[in-house]
Amino acid sequence: MNEASLGGPHPGNASRAPDAAHASPEPARASGEPGGLVLHATDVRKSFRQGPVTLEVLRGANLAVAGGERVAIVGASGSGKTTLLQILGGLDRPTAGRVLVAGEDIHRLDEQARGRLRNRAIGFVYQFHHLLPEFSALENVAMPLLVRRAPVAEARARARELLERVGLGERLTHRPHQLSGGERQRAAVARALVTQPRIVLADEPTGNLDGTNAEQVFALMLELNRERGTSLVVVTHDTRLAARMERILTLEQGMLLGEGYPAVEAGRRTR
Ligand SMILES: Nc1ncnc2c1ncn2[C@@H]1O[C@H](COP(=O)(O)OP(=O)(O)OP(=O)(O)O)[C@@H](O)[C@H]1O
Ligand SMILES: [Mg+2]
């Protein structure tokens, strides 16, 4: 990982700031799916019933992400960012709406097929790491590869490489409870990236990390984006991190509003 790779947005990105969340990305990035989209969510709604009250968290969110695109999602605490990301990743069902991942309607698949699609196409970084407590860091990171029946030696070698890249080369045999909060989060990022997914959905991936470690984790995601065309959808409160994505969308009143990052940096909201 070199310093140059930690730099700002890619050349030419400044000109790419569609002003609506559902604006069509450039056809040049076509990736085999309809319209070249790796992720296409349409009119996603989610309500939670709490006794007599129905809480409408998502009220028609739209999102189209092309192969190789980087998108940040920002929004107030409780605005529904985690809820949305989990629906996009097939971890929770929407009340209404449709989510296509690599061209497949993830919520219409049975559980097994949904699991396969997730393993094949999505790397998910949870807001809270969700590492398996009884396994070591190395085993946790190798797990998605073992699930897809990769040879054990290869899975372990790849997991070690990823852990080294997030600075955990000396913590391979540690169990999650023997890692610090930031180390757990870095291991969780390594686990999400180990399969070289088509798209990474990351929920505050650097939330528990200090500046140096946040930089390291984010640099790894950017490398994957650059080298393999992995799309990134990152929920973050970190404006520096958000500014290095191509689009910044704000979740507000249950919908994703698009805006360019200068508006966010200036603390302005535009509709
Ligand atoms: N299972 C649930 N049952 C009832 N309400 C829920 C459930 N999950 C989430 N909510 C509510 O939905 C709203 C959005 O929650 P969510 O976790 O998506 O917010 P968030 O934008 O990720 O917030 P934060 O930035 O604090 O992580 C919150 O008001 C929360 O209380
Ligand atoms: Mg959240």
Helices (H) and strands (E) in the chain, counts: 8, 10
Indicate whether 267 pLDDT > 70: no
**pLDDT single digits (tens) 8-29:** 333 333 333 333 344 444 433 4
Q: How far apart are CA 128 and CA 15, in angstroms?
A: 34
Q: What's the gap in Å between 100 CA and the centre of ligand 1?
A: 23
Ligand 1, pocket-test mutation among 56, 79, 204, most atoms within 8 A of CB:
79
Q: Which pair of structure tokens corresponds to residue 81? A: 């960012």
Q: How far is CA 254 from CA 46, 211, 250, in A?
A: 9, 31, 10
204 Cα nearest atom in ligand 1: 27
Range 13-24 burial, b when 16+ CB lie within 10 A, else e: eeeebbeebbee
User: Hey, what domains does the chain have and what are their CATH numbers?
Assistant: 17-263 (3.40.50.300)
Which one has a higher pLDDT value, 164 or 241? 164
The pLDDT of residue 195: 93
Ligand 1, pocket-test mutation among 57, 59, 235, 237, most atoms within 8 A of CB:
57
Q: Which residues keep their CB under 5 angstroms from ion ligand 2?
A: 81-82, 127
The pLDDT of residue 169: 95
80 Cα nearest atom in ligand 1: 18
Q: How far apart are CA 186 and CA 191, in angstroms?
A: 9
Q: What is the mean pLDDT of residues 109-124?
A: 94
Q: How far apart are CA 76 and CA 35, in angstroms?
A: 31
Indicate whether 104 pLDDT > 60: yes
Q: Ligand 1: which residues within 6 Å by Cβ?
A: 48, 50, 55, 57, 75, 77-83, 127
Which one has a higher pLDDT value, 25 or 42? 42
Ligand 1, pocket-test mutation among 55, 92, 206, most atoms within 8 A of CB:
55
pTM, 2 dp: 0.83
**pLDDT single digits (tens) 243-265:** 999 999 999 999 999 743 333 33
H helices present in 26-151, as ranges? 81-88, 111-121, 137-147
- CA-nearest residue, atom 9 of ligand 1: 83
Least confident of 15-29, 60-74, 197-211: 15-29
- CA-nearest residue, atom 17 of ligand 1: 82
Q: What DSSP state is assigned to residue 200?
A: E
Q: How far apart are CA 225 and CA 196, in angstroms?
A: 10
Q: What's the gap in Å between 77 CA and the centre of ligand 2?
A: 7
